[in-house]
């Protein structure tokens, strides 16, 4: 059995590894989500230095995951991700998004 480090991670944090944010958004109003939330959310990510790694419908391989678009973002650090997430522009966009979707979001450190 591996020696787990920190909160259940078998890998020690490497210096300056990227952080990945994974979201599975349960969309209740596709039109509102696509028109009112997605464009300003994408702009906010880019303005704050985030990078889209993958986006679109996911293919469920196991378990009981929510149904909806999957988005994977890359950030240079957890501090960069938190700076974006707590920024006034993203907080305003997020409130708009909550009208059209339930967000299921997790962040994970890269291993290299």
Q: What are phi and psi of 52, to 5 degrees?
A: -75, 125
Give per-residue pLDDT as tens, 16-49.
789 999 999 999 999 999 999 999 999 999 999 9
Angle between helices 38-47 and 88-97 (to 10 degrees): 160
Q: How confident is the model at residue 9 (pLDDT cuts 50, 70, 90)?
A: low
pLDDT value at residue 13: 56
Structure tokens at 93: 């966009």
pLDDT value at residue 29: 96
| Fold observed for domain 19-109 | Alpha-Beta Plaits (3.30.70)
pLDDT value at residue 8: 57
Break the chain into its structural domains and give their ranges.
19-109
Nearest to 30 by CA among 106, 89, 97: 97
Q: How confident is the model at residue 64 (pLDDT cuts 50, 70, 90)?
A: confident
């Amino acid at each position: 059995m591996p020696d787990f480090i920190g909160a259940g991670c078998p890998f020690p944090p490497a210096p300056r590894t990227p952080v990945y944010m994974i979201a599975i958004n349960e969309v209740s109003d596709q039109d509102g989500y696509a028109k009112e939330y997605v464009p300003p959310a994408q702009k906010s990510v880019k303005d704050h230095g985030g990078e889209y790694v993958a986006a679109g419908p996911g293919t469920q391989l196991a378990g009981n995951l929510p149904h909806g678009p999957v988005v994977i973002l890359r950030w240079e650090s957890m501090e960069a991700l938190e700076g974006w997430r707590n920024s006034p522009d993203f907080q305003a966009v997020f409130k708009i998004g909550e009208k059209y979707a339930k967000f299921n979001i997790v962040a994970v450190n890269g291993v290299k």
